[in-house]
C-alpha cells in the first residue's frame, strides 16, 4: 500500500483516492461537487476534473486528498492497475438506475481486493438517488454486498449534492485509521514506501463474466 | 556493486581542501558562508565515519572567509536558491570533497554498466535511491546552513537540492540511460509495436479513439508535439513533468469548454491517445519510464504524477491497439460508444435485451431506429445457436459492411470495444419477434442509442 505520507509534527496525511466506475455513472460530477468547483490554481492544468485535490482538517489531523479520476469505458478497463497502484482509497461509483454499472463495481472490488488486499479502503457509492423512481439496484442488495466485501456503502446525488461530504469524510477517517494501524505495525519505522511499489505491469484480464446491458460512454 | 549508500559511507582519504578558486574558476559561485569549503578538522578515519557519526558530505562548517565581493553577497541574499544549487554542483564536480567523490564514483559505476537489467525499474531504481540518499545527507550536513534560514523554507531547500542533484547526476547519465532503456524496449518488441500502432491509429483517424470532446486541430497537435519534444530532450524529471503538464494543458485548451464545466478522464484519455498518435513520438515510452522511476517520490501523488500516469496509460493503450478489433466509423461519428451485453444466461427474465451506444448530439445511427431500453419479453426457450444471422441492413457506419452475426438477433455494430471480447446479443428466439417499441418516452440529456435485437422493419 502506498505510504500514507504521514509527515512529522502536527500529523499530516497525504492520501491518494482513485475513482472507478462506468462511464456515465457520474464520477466526475461527484468529485466536482465535492471540490465545489474550486479548482486549485496551483495546478497547471486547472479547471479540469481529472485530478483534484482537497485539504481537510479532521480532528486536528491535516489531510491532503488527491482524487484521481479514471476513464470508465470498458475499453480502458485494463488500464486500471496503472491508476490504482499505491492508492489508499477507492471510490467505486455505480448508477442506481443501471444494474449493469453495479455489476461493474463488483468486478472492480474483486480486482482491487486481489491486487491490493485489505489495505485499501473501499467505498461503494450508489449515485443518482434523485432518480429514485427509476432505481434498478435495490438498497438492500447493494448494502449487503458492500458489507460482505468489507466496503462501506453510500447513497449520493451529485445533482442535489447529497451524501457527498459524508462519503469523503468517512473515507478520510478510515484511511487515517488504516495508515495509523499500518504505521504501528511497522513499529513506527519510517514509512517511506518510496520506490518499493513501482513498476506495475498491466494485466490483461481474462474475458470473464460479462456484465449486462449497456451504458452510454463516459459522463 | 554494493549499495549506493555503502559507497557514500566509504570516504576517501581527506586531502587538504583545495582553495575555493580551484573549484570555481569557471563557474565562480559565491557560496553562502556556511558552505564555504574549509580544511576539515579533525580528519575522520578513512572508514570510520559511518560509525562515529553521520557522514558529512560537505566539509564541516567553520568560520569562512569573507565573501569575495559585494555582488556575491547581494546575490546570496537575493537568490539563495541559485547560490545553493551552484554550490552543490561545484562540490559534486570536485572529487576532493566527499560529495564530489561520492557523485563521481557513482557516475563511473553507472556508466560502467556490467549489470544486467531486466526492467526499467532495475535499471533506474538504484539511481533514485542514490539521489534520495544523497539529498538526505546534504540536508543533515551542518555545512548547509544558509546565512539566513528564513530565506529558504524547508520545502524549497529540498526542491533546490533535488534539482541540483539532477544536474550533477542525471544530466551526465541521461544519454546512457536513454540508450539502455531503448535497448530494453527494442528487445521486448514494445517499441516497434508502439511505432506500428501509432501509424495504424493515424491511418484510422478519429474513429480510433472516439471521444465526446472535440479533437484538437493540427496546430494544437503541433503545439503539444513541441512540448513533448522538449520533454524528450530534458534530463530532469521535474522539468519533464512541467513540460508534460503544459502539453496536457494545451490539450485541454484544444478540447474547448466542457458541456458540464470540466472534462474528466473519460474525455481526456481518448483525446490524449489520439494526439500522441499524431505526434508520432514512440520514444515517449522510455521517457515515461524514466520519469516515473526518477521523479521525486512525493511528486508522484500530485498533479504531475497523475498526468504522468495518464501518459503511461495512454501509451499502454496505444501499445496494444493492434489487438483491438478494427472499427471503422464514418468521419462525422466521433462520439464514443461503449458496448456491453449480458448473455441471456445471466440475464434475469424480463430484463433489457439491449446493446446501447451513444451518439453525437442526438444524431441517430444513420437512420437506424434508436429506442430506449425495453424488456425483451422472450427469454426462453434457448436459441438455436449458432445461426449466422446477417445484419438486416448494411450499416453505413461500417466501411466494410461485414456481416456481424450472432445467435439469432442482430444489431448494427458501429463500434467494437477493444481489448474485450465482444459479447454480441444472443436473443433466445429467432428472429426476436417483438416489434420496435415506441420512440423514447423519457428524454435523457445525453441520448442513449439502443438498438434492439431484431427490432428492425
DSSP one-letter string for A107-174: HHHHHHHHHHTTSSEEEEEEE-GGGGGG--S-HHHHHHHHHHTT-EEEE-BTTTTBSHHHHHHHHHHH
Contacts of B316 in chain A (CB under 8 A): 78-79, 82, 202
Residue of B nearest to A212 (CA): B342
**Residue B186 in grid coordinates:** 527494442
Chain B contact set for A99 (CB, 8 A): 351
**In this structure, is the dihedral angle defined by the CA atoms of residues A175, A180, A185 and A187, taken in order, positive or negative?**
positive
Give A22's contacts in chain B (Cβ within 8 Å): 338
Q: Which one, of A83, A58, A86, lies nearest residue A172 by Cα?
A: A58
Q: Which residues of chain B have pLDDT under 70?
A: 1-78, 142-151, 261, 325-457
* Whether B262 and A66 lie within 8 Å, measured CB to CB: no
Share of chain A above pLDDT 90, in %: 57
| CA–CA distance, B23 with B93 (Å, rounded to integer) | 8
Mean of pLDDT values over A199-207: 38
Residue A167's pLDDT is: 96
Residues with Cβ < 8 Å from B396, sequence gap 6 or more? Answer: B330, B366
Q: Under a CB-based contact definition with an 8 Å cutoff, are residues B282 and B315 in contact? A: no
Nearest CA in chain A to B302: A66
**Cα Rg of chain B (Å, integer):** 31
Q: Is the dihedral of CA B132, A86, A165, A215 positive or negative?
A: positive
pLDDT tens digits, one per residue of B89-136: 888 888 888 889 999 999 999 998 777 788 999 999 999 999 999 998
Among B119, B210, B336, beta carbon nearest to A199: B119
Q: What is the pLDDT of residues A59-96, one digit of tens each?
A: 899 999 999 999 998 889 999 999 999 999 999 999 99
Apex A74 CA angle, A73 and A77, nearest 5: 100
Cα separation, A44 vs B227, whole angstroms: 14
For A218, the closest of B121, B266, B347 (CB atoms) is B266
Q: A5: which 3 cell numbers?
A: 505520507
State the DSSP string of A61-111.
EEEEEEEEE---SGGGGGGHHHHHTT-SEEEEEEETT-HHHHHHHHHHHHH
Strand ranges of the sheet holding A12-21, from the earlier edge strand across to the other edge: A51-58, A61-69, A12-21, A89-95, A121-127, A152-155
* Closest chain B C-alpha to A158 CA, distance in angstroms: 12
Please indicate whether, in this complex, the C-beta atoms of A198 and B125 are within 8 angstroms of each other: yes
pLDDT, residue B144, reads: 58
Residue contact A71–B269, C-beta within 8 A:
yes
Q: Is the dihedral of CA B90, B92, B93, B95 positive or negative?
A: positive
What confidence category does residue A203 fall into, taking pLDDT thresholds of 50, 70 and 90? very low
The count of C-alpha atoms lying within 13 angstroms of the C-alpha of A143, restricted to the half-sphere facing its C-beta, is 5
Angle between helices B171-187 and B120-140 (to 10 degrees): 160
Instruction: Provide the terminal-to-terminal Cα distance of chain A, rounded to the nearest Å.
Output: 29
Cβ contacts of A54 on chain B, cutoff 8 Å: none
Question: How many inter-chain contacts (A to B, CB under 8 Å) are there?
Answer: 196
pTM of the complete model beyond 0.80: no
pLDDT of residue A216: 41
* Amino acid A125: pLDDT: 97
Q: Is B298 helix (H, G, I), strand (E, B) or coil?
A: helix
Quote the CA–CA distance of B186 and B161 in Å, as a whole number. 34
Helical (H) or strand (E) element with B158: helix B154-165
Over range A125-141, report the average pLDDT: 93
Report yes or no: B109 and B176 within 8 Å, Cβ to Cβ: no
Using CA atoms, how far apart are residues B384 and A93, in angstroms rounded to an integer? 38
Torsion angle (degrees, nearest 10) of CA B311, B327, B372, A130? 0
- Residues with Cβ within 8 Å of residue A110, at least 6 apart in sequence: none
* Cis peptide leading into residue B219 (ω within 30°): no
CB within 8 Å: A45 and B310? no
Cβ–Cβ below 8 Å for A213 and B354? yes
Report chain A residues whose CB lies below 8 A from the CB of B355. 214
Give Cα B441 distance to the centre of its chain: 44
Distance between CA A102 and CA A142 in Å, rounded?
A: 8
What would the grid cell of residue B436 be? Answer: 420496435
Q: Measured between CB atoms, which of A45, A210, A219 is closest to B342?
A: A210
Task: Please count the residues of chain B.
Answer: 457
Rounded CA-CA distance B378/B408 in Å is 12
B436-451 pLDDT, tens per residue?
444 443 433 333 333 3
CB contact set of B345 (below 8 Å; sequence gap of 6+): none
Q: Are B278 and B226 in contact (CB under 8 A)?
A: no
Count of CB atoms situated within 10 Å of the CB of B192: 12
b/e map B59-96, b = 16+ CB within 10 Å = bbbeebeebeeeebbebbeeebeebbbbbbbbbbbbeb
The burial class, CB within 10 Å (0-12 / 13-18 / 19+), for A175 is: buried
pLDDT tens sequence across A9-59? 468 899 999 999 998 898 888 888 888 755 455 555 555 789 999 999 998
CB contact under 8 A, B418 and A75: yes
Amino acid at each position: 500500500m502506498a505510504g500514507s505520507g504521514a509527515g512529522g509534527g502536527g500529523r499530516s496525511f497525504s492520501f491518494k483516492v482513485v475513482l472507478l466506475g462506468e462511464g456515465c455513472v457520474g464520477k466526475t460530477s461527484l468529485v466536482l461537487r465535492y471540490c465545489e468547483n474550486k479548482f486549485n490554481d496551483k495546478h497547471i492544468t486547472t479547471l479540469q476534473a481529472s485530478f483534484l485535490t482537497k485539504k481537510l482538517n479532521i480532528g486536528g489531523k491535516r489531510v491532503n486528498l488527491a482524487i484521481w479520476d479514471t476513464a470508465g469505458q470498458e475499453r480502458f478497463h485494463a488500464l486500471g492497475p496503472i491508476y490504482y497502484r499505491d492508492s489508499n482509497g477507492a471510490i467505486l461509483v455505480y448508477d442506481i438506475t443501471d444494474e449493469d454499472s453495479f455489476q461493474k463495481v463488483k468486478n472492480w472490488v474483486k480486482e482491487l481486493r486481489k491486487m491490493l488486499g485489505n489495505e485499501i479502503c473501499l467505498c461503494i457509492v450508489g449515485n443518482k438517488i434523485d432518480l429514485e423512481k427509476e432505481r434498478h439496484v435495490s438498497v438492500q442488495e447493494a448494502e449487503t454486498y458492500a458489507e460482505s466485501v468489507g466496503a462501506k456503502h453510500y447513497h449520493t446525488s451529485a445533482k442535489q449534492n447529497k451524501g457527498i461530504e459524508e462519503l469523503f469524510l468517512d473515507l478520510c477517517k478510515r484511511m487515517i485509521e488504516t495508515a495509523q494501524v499500518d504505521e504501528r505495525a511497522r513499529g513506527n519505522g519510517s514509512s517511506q514506501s518510496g520506490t518499493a511499489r513501482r513498476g506495475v505491469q498491466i494485466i490483461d484480464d481474462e474475458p470473464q463474466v460479462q456484465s449486462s446491458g449497456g451504458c452510454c460512454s463516459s459522463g | 556493486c554494493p549499495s549506493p549508500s555503502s559507497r557514500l559511507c566509504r570516504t576517501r582519504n581527506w586531502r587538504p581542501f583545495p582553495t575555493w578558486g580551484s573549484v570555481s574558476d569557471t563557474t565562480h559561485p559565491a557560496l553562502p558562508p556556511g558552505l564555504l569549503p574549509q580544511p576539515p578538522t579533525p580528519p575522520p578515519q578513512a572508514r570510520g565515519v559511518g560509525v562515529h557519526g553521520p557522514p558529512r558530505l560537505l566539509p564541516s562548517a567553520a568560520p569562512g572567509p569573507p565573501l569575495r565581493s559585494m555582488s556575491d553577497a547581494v546575490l546570496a541574499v537575493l537568490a539563495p536558491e541559485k547560490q545553493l544549487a551552484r554550490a552543490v554542483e561545484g562540490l559534486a564536480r570536485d572529487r576532493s570533497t566527499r560529495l564530489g567523490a561520492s557523485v563521481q564514483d557513482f557516475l563511473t559505476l553507472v556508466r560502467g554498466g556490467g549489470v544486467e537489467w531486466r526492467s526499467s525499474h532495475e535499471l533506474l531504481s538504484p539511481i533514485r535511491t542514490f539521489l534520495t540518499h544523497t539529498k538526505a545527507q546534504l540536508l543533515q550536513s551542518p555545512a548547509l546552513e544558509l546565512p539566513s534560514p528564513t530565506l529558504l523554507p524547508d520545502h524549497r531547500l529540498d526542491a533546490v537540492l533535488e534539482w541540483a542533484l539532477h544536474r550533477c547526476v542525471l544530466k551526465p547519465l541521461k544519454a546512457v540511460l536513454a540508450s539502455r532503456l531503448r535497448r530494453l524496449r527494442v528487445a521486448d518488441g514494445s517499441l516497434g509495436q508502439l511505432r506500428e500502432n501509432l501509424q495504424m491509429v493515424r491511418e484510422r483517424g478519429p474513429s480510433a479513439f472516439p471521444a465526446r470532446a472535440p479533437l484538437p486541430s493540427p496546430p494544437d497537435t503541433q503545439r503539444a508535439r513541441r512540448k513533448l519534444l522538449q520533454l524528450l530532450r530534458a534530463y530532469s524529471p521535474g522539468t519533464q513533468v512541467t513540460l508534460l503538464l503544459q502539453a496536457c494543458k494545451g490539450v485541454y485548451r484544444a478540447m474547448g469548454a466542457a458541456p458540464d464545466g470540466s472534462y474528466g478522464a473519460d474525455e481526456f484519455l481518448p483525446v490524449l491517445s489520439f494526439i500522441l498518435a499524431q505526434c508520432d513520438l514512440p520514444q515517449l515510452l522510455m521517457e515515461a519510464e524514466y520519469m516515473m522511476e526518477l521523479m521525486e517520490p512525493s511528486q508522484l501523488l500530485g498533479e504531475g504524477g497523475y498526468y504522468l500516469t495518464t501518459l503511461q496509460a495512454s501509451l499502454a493503450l496505444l501499445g496494444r491497439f493492434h489487438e483491438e478489433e478494427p472499427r471503422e466509423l464514418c468521419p462525422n461519428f466521433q462520439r464514443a460508444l461503449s458496448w456491453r451485453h449480458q448473455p441471456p444466461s445471466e440475464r434475469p427474465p424480463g430484463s433489457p435485451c439491449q446493446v446501447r451506444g451513444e451518439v453525437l448530439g442526438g444524431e441517430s445511427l444513420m437512420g437506424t431506429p434508436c429506442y430506449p431500453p425495453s424488456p425483451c419479453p422472450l427469454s426462453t426457450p434457448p436459441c438455436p445457436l449458432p445461426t449466422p444471422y446477417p445484419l438486416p441492413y448494411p450499416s453505413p457506419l461500417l466501411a466494410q459492411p461485414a456481416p456481424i452475426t450472432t445467435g439469432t438477433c442482430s444489431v448494427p455494430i458501429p463500434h467494437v470495444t477493444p481489448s474485450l471480447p465482444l459479447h454480441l446479443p444472443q436473443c433466445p428466439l429467432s428472429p426476436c419477434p417483438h416489434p420496435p417499441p415506441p420512440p423514447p418516452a423519457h428524454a435523457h440529456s445525453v441520448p442513449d442509442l439502443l438498438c434492439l435485437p431484431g427490432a428492425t422493419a
